[in-house]
């Protein structure tokens, strides 16, 4: 087979894969199988066929997802494994960063199979964890090739590290993805904030001073607001995914108001106003959220107490948020907390 024939088979296989996206279920699998056959013929004739391996990897991933959605998990897993084999060929051929990220996604599927559409360490299967560790190697290779300024590499690095329970590093990489993003999607911001919430909850009861984590959370949200404009969907995402923890973070932010300035108060208020309608069946916490908004004019902000900021930051401990009556050890009386209680009790 001459080179032009290999090129034709690659393009035909790619076209069939693209067309399969718009087909109904039975037609879809037919197109995918035809594409796999053509690409396999092309690869058989020319093993140095990076484009063929990349496309067949995507075809096999979609075949696996087809059987996964049809509840044929064993066959789905077998196709994901075949897709990984093709992905490895792309990797050793020094494929593009985009191909590496697509490869990494399939590694995630196998690392958490059958929980392929969930995220977090609790879904990782111990005997399949090696797929995620391999994915880190592939991403690091991509970073060495293209440098640390590739959004998709940073984004996928954050997701993989989160699945490996490396939350601090996951936060750093997802924040980098936010800064590198030039897309309309703010998914990186959603995940960065979610990871920061999880880190805060993990550390707040164990460390005496984690106010800096609250400041980092508000700062990141503020940067996201500046970058994307409207971020109401970020608030809703956090509320729906991490309701209890998110409410704790909001409560603790309002109880150390000296970390806020005017624009940050506006941001947090917007967040509360967006989430309050989602509390229609939770009267108690809805009242607390309304009380926060009413008490905003009474807050002592960063601009008001700038000379005392360093001293208070060193000595303050963060109190417990809604639905938890155990105060943090060493917590000092705060006017805002007292004021909210008076509003709620009517005293």
Going residue by residue through the chain (347 aa), what tens digit of pLDDT does each one get?
444 588 899 999 999 999 998 888 889 999 999 999 999 999 988 777 889 999 999 999 999 999 999 999 999 999 999 999 999 998 887 778 889 999 999 999 999 999 998 888 999 999 999 999 999 999 998 998 877 789 999 999 999 999 999 999 999 999 999 999 887 899 999 999 999 999 999 999 887 788 999 999 999 999 999 999 999 999 999 999 999 999 999 989 988 888 888 889 899 999 999 999 998 888 888 888 888 888 887 777 765 544 444 444 444 444 334 444 444 333 333 434 443 444 444 44
Looking from the CA of 288 toward its CB, the CA atoms found within 13 Å total 18
Q: Are residues 325 and 204 in the same domain?
A: yes
Q: Are residues 190 and 334 in the same domain?
A: yes
Q: How far apart are CA 78 and CA 150, in angstroms?
A: 31
Q: Are residues 219 and 328 in the same domain?
A: yes
Q: Are residues 73 and 197 in the same domain?
A: no
Give the other-Cβ count within 10 Å of 302's Cβ.
Answer: 17
DSSP state, 94? T
Torsional class of 71: left (φ above 0), alpha (ψ -120 to 50), beta (otherwise) = left
Last residue of a domain, one of 64, 93, 122: 93
Last residue of a domain, one of 93, 114, 133: 93
Q: What is residue 254's predicted lDDT score, i.e. its pLDDT? A: 83
Q: Are 316 and 256 in contact (CB under 8 A)?
A: yes
Last residue of a domain, one of 42, 73, 93: 93
Q: Are residues 62 and 200 in the same domain?
A: no
The helix-helix angle for 243-254 and 262-275 (nearest 10°) equals 150
Q: Are residues 87 and 205 in the same domain?
A: no
Q: Are residues 237 and 347 in the same domain?
A: yes
Flag whether 129 is in a domain: no
Q: How far apart are CA 125 and CA 164, in angstroms?
A: 11
Q: What is residue 302's predicted lDDT score, i.e. its pLDDT? A: 67
Q: What is residue 103's predicted lDDT score, i.e. its pLDDT? A: 95
Q: What is residue 104's predicted lDDT score, i.e. its pLDDT? A: 96
- Residue 245 token pair: 């923890």
Q: Are residues 330 and 194 in the same domain?
A: yes
Q: Please count the structural domains in the chain.
A: 2
Flag whether 157 is in a domain: no
Identify which of 255, 280, 225 has the alpha carbon closest to the alpha carbon of residue 340. Answer: 255
Domain residues for 80?
Answer: 1-93
Identify which of 146, 180, 145, 177 has the alpha carbon closest to the alpha carbon of residue 160. Answer: 177
Flag whether 110 is in a domain: no
Question: What is the domain-level CATH number for residue 31?
Answer: 1.25.40
In a 10 Å sphere around its CB, with 0-12 CB exposed, 13-18 middle and 19+ buried, how is residue 143 labelled?
middle
Residues, the chain: 347
Give the CA angle between residues 251, 253, 255 to the nearest 5°. Answer: 70
DSSP state, 144? H
Q: How far apart are CA 73 and CA 67, in angstroms?
A: 7
Q: Are residues 196 and 343 in the same domain?
A: yes
Q: Are residues 70 and 214 in the same domain?
A: no
Flag whether 196 is in a domain: yes
Flag whether 108 is in a domain: no
Flag whether 112 is in a domain: no
Q: Are 83 and 57 in contact (CB under 8 A)?
A: yes
Flag whether 330 is in a domain: yes
Flag whether 239 is in a domain: yes
pTM: 0.81
Identify which of 103, 112, 84 has the alpha carbon closest to the alpha carbon of residue 142. Answer: 103
């Amino acid at each position: 087979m001459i080179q032009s024939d290999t090129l034709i088979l690659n393009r035909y296989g790619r076209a069939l894969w693209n067309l399969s996206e718009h087909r109904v279920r039975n037609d879809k699998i037919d197109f995918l199988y035809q594409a796999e056959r053509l690409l396999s013929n092309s690869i058989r004739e020319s093993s140095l066929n990076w484009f063929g391996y990349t496309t067949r990897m995507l075809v096999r991933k979609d075949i696996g997802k087809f059987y996964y959605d049809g509840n044929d998990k064993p066959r789905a897993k077998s196709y994901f494994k075949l897709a990984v084999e093709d992905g490895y060929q792309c990797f050793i051929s020094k494929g593009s960063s985009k191909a590496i990220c697509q490869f990494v996604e399939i590694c995630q599927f196998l690392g958490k199979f059958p929980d392929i559409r969930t995220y977090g360490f609790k879904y990782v299967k111990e005997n399949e964890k090696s797929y995620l560790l391999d994915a880190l190697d592939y991403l690091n290779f991509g970073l060495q090739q293209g440098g640390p300024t590739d959004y998709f590499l940073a984004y996928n690095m954050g997701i993989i590290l989160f699945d490996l329970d490396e939350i601090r590093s996951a936060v750093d990489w997802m924040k980098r993805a936010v800064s590198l993003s030039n897309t309309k999607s703010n998914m990186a911001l959603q995940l960065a904030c979610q990871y920061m919430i999880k880190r805060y909850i993990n550390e707040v009861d164990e460390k005496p001073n984690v106010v800096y984590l609250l400041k980092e959370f508000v700062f990141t949200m503020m940067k996201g607001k500046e970058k994307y404009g409207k971020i109401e969907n970020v608030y809703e995402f956090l509320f729906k995914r991490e309701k209890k923890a998110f409410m704790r973070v909001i409560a603790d932010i309002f109880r150390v108001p000296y970390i806020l300035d005017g624009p940050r108060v506006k941001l947090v208020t917007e967040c509360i106003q967006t989430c309050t309608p989602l509390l229609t069946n939770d009267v108690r916490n809805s009242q607390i959220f309304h009380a926060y908004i009413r008490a905003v004019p009474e807050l002592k902000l960063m601009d008001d107490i700038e000379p005392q900021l360093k001293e208070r930051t060193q000595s303050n401990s963060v109190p417990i948020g809604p639905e938890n009556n155990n105060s943090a050890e060493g917590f000092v009386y705060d006017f805002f907390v007292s004021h909210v209680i008076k509003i709620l009790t009517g005293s």
